[in-house]
Amino acid sequence: MMKLRSILTEMSVVGKTYISVDIQPEYANGMGFSMDSFATFLNENSEDIHNLIFLYNGEQTLGMIPEAEYKEWLMGNGVESNVIERAAFYDKGYAFFRYCMDKQIDESAVANFVRFMYENNVHDSRDMTREMWAKYLREYRRLDRTEVYALLKAADDCVHIPDLMNYLKRFRNIVLTGGAVNECLKEVEIALQALKLPYLVDTRYTY
């Protein structure tokens, strides 16, 4: 099986798609790094980064920070305006797969299930028919049946396919950072695994 997740061990991000996940004011108190260091990193490397993307929980999905205010916050923390101008911003929302995650379903099993739904144009796990579950079991027949049963029970609450997946699938050479590592960042990781997109994690700015 292709290894999808790796840790960024070298400083170079040349030619990468660098994705910041929820490095935003609502979560600032929980970050274990300084925004000054993150801003300096972006300012010094933005011209070498192929795509700089800020995924965030915003006004459109969760009634949180509007994009314009988010940009102002980043600049207020030292990110240069030209870096912001070159970056893309995507209000992603969250809790696409959280019920399965909170039930501690194996991450690869969740990713497989999300992939199956995505490839079969099923957007909500509550729409899975008996025939679709049978097809899923046939395609992933090597899975532990106990795991599948747990997934079936957890998915009922539900798993849904976010628009974020259609956004992410266009990118390659991905580096992720941000947080929280077992919450929103993990959801983005599961989405990438479901899409079979390899990625690196820059742990300097995870929280």
**pLDDT digits over 30-43, tens only?**
999 999 999 999 99
Average pLDDT in the 24-29 region? Answer: 96
DSSP string, 37-52: HHHHHHHHHTTT-SEE
Mean pLDDT of 112-139: 91
Amino acid at 149: Y
Q: What is the pLDDT at residue 152?
A: 64
Percent of the chain at pLDDT > 90 equals 69
Residue with tokens 């049978």: 134
- Integer-rounded Cα Rg, in Å, for the chain is 18
pLDDT, tens digit (0-9, with 9 covering 90-100), for 84-113: 999 999 999 988 998 888 878 888 888 999
Query: Domains (ranges, CATH) in the chain?
Result: 13-93+163-205 (3.40.50.850), 98-155 (no CATH)
Residue 114 has pLDDT above 90, yes or no: yes
Separation CA 82–CA 75 (nearest Å): 10
Q: Is the pLDDT of residue 172 over 90?
A: yes
6-35 average pLDDT score: 92
Average pLDDT over residues 177-195: 96
